[in-house]
């Protein structure tokens, strides 16, 4: 089973919930931190890294001798990554998606595709877990190729810590999983972004359920949304200042709430019943 822990809004507690769940299960599994723009799960799971791999994306290389600046590539690049400067064509690497259209349309065979590093993936182990995380290089825009590479790590049970948001990187994480556990908070912001996230799950046909973090007893704003959209609230985590204090130093929810272990194991059983 592949389980994605996700949220529309940032900072709701995705990493906290994903790490606590993985530790509570205390069995062999693979943990994938796919928030490659801010990978933080390693701070809580303390993996030992055994290997490091560069992630390459296809990238056009223009042969200046063959190129006669006809402009076919410029016209056909949908991302504006090719620009003509006088008698030369120049590539704006930040904008390139690596699709290879420029190579296909070049009448002079002046373009070849090479690999360009956009980030790295770190692989290792944390106790009984296999662990992988990724890191987008500074100034690179596209995190999806790195997420795709991390997701190649397979196992009987995989827990994915997703990035915030509801566009490409989050979609890439949730797509093809068996269940999405959506972590939210009982505020208008949390509600607004949870609504978007549920829509994403529906589009991807991935079943989902909700964890309300920082609950202060009155979670009506989330409860009524979940009733309206018929999504179950599977767990509530109470608000405590001590949670923030422990989180600050990389300690997990289980250290603040030792009783939560059973709740998390029940949560996992429920998820298994609802999975795709």
Partner 1 sequence: MTRIAVLSGKGGTGKTTAVASMAWYSKGLVLADCDVDAANLALTMNGSLRTKDDYVGALKAHIDPDACIQCGKCEDACIFGAISDFKVNEIHCEGCGACKVVCPEDAVTLQYLKSGDIYVLDTEKGPMVYAELFPGESNSGKLVSEVRRLADDLAESEDFDVVLIDGPPGTGCPAIASVTGADLILAVTEPSLSGEHDLMRLIDLAQHFSIPLCVAINKWDLHPESAKQIEESCHRKGVLVVGMVPYDPAVLKAIKAMRPLPSLFPRSPAAIAFNRIWREVSKRAVARKGSGVLLKLD
- Contact between 165 and partner 1 per CB under 8 A: yes
| Selected binder of partner 1 within 4, 6, 9, 268 (CB under 8 A) | 9
User: Which stretch, 9-17, 126-134, 153-161, 223-231, contacts partner 1 (CB under 8 A)?
Assistant: 9-17
Q: Which is nearer to partner 1, 128 or 244 (CB)?
A: 244
Helix (H, G, I), strand (E, B) or coil at 135: strand
Task: Using alpha carbons, select from 62, 112, 109 the residue that is nearest to residue 87.
Answer: 62
Cβ of residue 112: shortest distance to partner 1, in angstroms?
15
Cβ of residue 27: shortest distance to partner 1, in angstroms?
26
Q: How far apart are CA 275 and CA 2, in angstroms?
A: 9
Q: How far apart are CA 39 and CA 141, in angstroms?
A: 16
| Selected binder of partner 1 within 25, 70, 187, 275 (CB under 8 A) | 187
- Contact between 86 and partner 1 per CB under 8 A: no
| Selected binder of partner 1 within 149, 169, 212, 260 (CB under 8 A) | 169
Q: Which is nearer to partner 1, 43 or 265 (CB)?
A: 43
Cβ atoms of 153 and 123 closer than 8 Å: yes
Cβ of residue 193: shortest distance to partner 1, in angstroms?
4
- Contact between 140 and partner 1 per CB under 8 A: yes
Distances (CA, A) of 56 to 34, 149, 196, 250: 16, 10, 31, 31
- Contact between 69 and partner 1 per CB under 8 A: no
- Contact between 58 and partner 1 per CB under 8 A: yes
| Selected binder of partner 1 within 30, 162, 166, 184 (CB under 8 A) | 166
Cβ of residue 179: shortest distance to partner 1, in angstroms?
17
Cβ atoms of 56 and 99 closer than 8 Å: no
Q: Which is nearer to partner 1, 37 or 270 (CB)?
A: 37
Q: How far apart are CA 175 and CA 46, in angstroms?
A: 27
Cβ of residue 11: shortest distance to partner 1, in angstroms?
1
Q: How far apart are CA 92 and CA 235, in angstroms?
A: 47
| Selected binder of partner 1 within 2, 19, 62, 101 (CB under 8 A) | 101
Q: How far apart are CA 235 and CA 130, in angstroms?
A: 26
- For residue 135 the two structure tokens come to 């890191």
Task: Using alpha carbons, select from 101, 114, 115 the residue that is nearest to residue 73.
Answer: 101
All residues at 6 or more sequence positions from 169 whose CB lies less than 8 Å from its CB, including other chains: 34, 36, 37, 143, 144, 147, 162, 163
Cβ atoms within 10 Å of 67's Cβ, excluding its own:
17
Q: Which residues bind partner 1 (CB under 8 A)?
A: 8-12, 15, 36-38, 40, 43, 58, 76, 78-79, 90-94, 97-101, 104-105, 136, 138-143, 163-171, 175, 187-189, 192-193, 196-197, 199-200, 203-204, 241, 244-245, 247-250
């Amino acid at each position: 089973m592949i389980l994605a822990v996700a949220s529309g809004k940032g900072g709701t507690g995705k990493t906290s919930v994903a790490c606590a769940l993985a530790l509570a299960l205390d069995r062999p599994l693979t943990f994938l931190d796919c928030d490659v723009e801010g990978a933080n799960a390693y701070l809580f799971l303390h993996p030992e890294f055994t290997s490091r791999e560069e992630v390459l994306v296809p990238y056009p290389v223009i042969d200046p001798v063959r190129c006669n600046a006809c402009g076919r590539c410029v016209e056909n690049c949908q991302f504006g990554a090719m620009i003509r400067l006088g008698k030369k064509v120049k590539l704006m690497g930040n904008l390139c998606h690596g699709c290879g259209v420029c190579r296909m349309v070049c009448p002079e065979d002046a373009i070849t595709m090479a690999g360009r590093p956009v980030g790295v993936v770190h692989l290792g182990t944390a106790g009984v877990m296999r662990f992988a995380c990724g890191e987008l290089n500074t100034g690179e825009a596209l995190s999806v190729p790195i997420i795709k590479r991390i997701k190649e790590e397979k196992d009987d049970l995989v827990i994915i810590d997703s990035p915030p948001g509801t566009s490409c990187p989050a979609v890439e994480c949730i797509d093809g999983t068996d269940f999405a556990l959506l972590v939210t908070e009982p505020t208008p912001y949390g509600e607004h972004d949870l609504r978007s996230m549920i829509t994403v799950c529906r589009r991807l046909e991935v079943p989902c359920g909700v964890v309300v973090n920082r609950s202060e007893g009155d979670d009506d704003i989330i409860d009524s949304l979940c009733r309206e959209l018929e999504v179950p609230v599977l767990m509530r985590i109470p608000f405590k200042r001590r949670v923030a204090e422990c989180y600050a130093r990389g300690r997990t929810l289980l250290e603040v709430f030792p009783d939560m272990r059973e709740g998390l194991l029940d949560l996992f059983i429920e998820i298994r019943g609802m999975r795709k």
